[in-house]
Amino acid sequence: MVLSIAVTNQKGGVGKTTTCINLAAELGRLGYSVLAVDMDPQGNCSSGLGIEADAVNVSLYDVLLGGASIQEALVATPWEGVSLLPATIDLAGAEVELASIISRETCLRRHMAKLDHYDVAIIDCPPSLGLLTINALVAAQKLIVPIQCEYYALEGVGQLARTIGLVRDCLNPDLSIDGVLLTMFDSRTRLAHDVVEEVRRQFGEIVFSTVIPRNVKLSEAPSYAKPITYYEPASTGAQSYTLFSREVATRWLHLKTKR
């Protein structure tokens, strides 16, 4: 694995899963070999990439706790360049079951280290700071935090930063918030502009230039089990996720920007 990127924020509904699905699909279209890792028991990243729980024989739960190999859990998706480590609802039990095993925080990292034919992994985190998220933070080299352009946008970010600090001190020395993505921007509201300004002031250069607009096509795409660029390529949602993914590839995967 050349690079692993976790998308994290313990707040629910901020666009983590949407970002993982569409970043994975776009990096795949750019020619990278991508592994999407679904660490949320809800399995929305898996279903959004077209892999329903019924079709999953070996899931991430089986890898973390059931003795299955990580290779057994890999599934191909219909999208160019994208494979998936799927989650099913039994992953919810892992939060508790992991507590009693040795090196419980490094479980995902140790398994992922066995994979060497991917350029990049995108890890979708659950909306909590429990052991599943800790495993993702330990396995990641880069962190992207999506922030919704709404009331209480920065609520919980301090707590997230403290957790990241603890993981950095004990288990992953280079860990920090490397990217902040503004999501669900509604240009008509004053509040959304204020949030953008405040987040850029607080986080500076790590905030991606691309802001993801609120776009109904983005909320429809999961029910068609498609990434946005395959579902509605002309939508503003698709265009913004394409630009954002190019930014990620330029920053961290040495993509040469087109002239």
Closest to 183 (Cα-Cα) out of 151, 211, 155 = 211
Binding residues among 24-63 for ligand ADP as defined by CB under 6 A = 44
Q: Does 214 bind ligand ADP (CB under 6 A)?
A: yes
Instruction: Give backbone dihedrals phi and psi of 7, rounded to 5 degrees, phi first.
Output: -105, 115
- Name the maximum alpha-carbon separation found in the chain: 53
Separation of CA 150 from chain center = 20
Region near ligand ADP per CB under 6 A, out of 26-34, 109-117, 197-205, 212-220: 212-220
What are the structure tokens assigned to 251, written together? 């920053």
How many residues bind ligand ADP, per CB under 6 A?
Answer: 18
How many residues bind Mg ion, per CB under 5 A?
Answer: 2
Binding residues among 161-190 for ligand ADP as defined by CB under 6 A = 183-184
C-beta of 12 vs 31, nearer to ligand ADP:
12
Separation of CA 240 from chain center = 16
Burial of 95 (0-12, 13-18, 19+ CB in 10 A): middle
Which of 169-174's residues contact partners 24+ apart within 8 Å by CB, and which partners? 170/105, 171/105, 171/106, 171/138, 172/137, 172/138, 172/140, 174/141
Of the candidates 127, 129, 182, 242, which one interacts with ligand ADP according to CB under 6 A?
127
Burial of 103 (0-12, 13-18, 19+ CB in 10 A): exposed
C-beta of 17 vs 77, nearer to Mg ion:
17
Binding residues among 9-48 for Mg ion as defined by CB under 5 A = 16-17
Of the candidates 218, 225, 228, 238, which one interacts with ligand ADP according to CB under 6 A?
218
Query: Shortest Cβ contact with Mg ion: which residue?
Result: 17
Of the candidates 5, 6, 15, 238, which one interacts with ligand ADP according to CB under 6 A?
15
Residues that bind ligand ADP (CB under 6 A): 12-18, 44, 127, 183-184, 212, 214-215, 218-219, 222, 237
Residues that bind Mg ion (CB under 5 A): 16-17
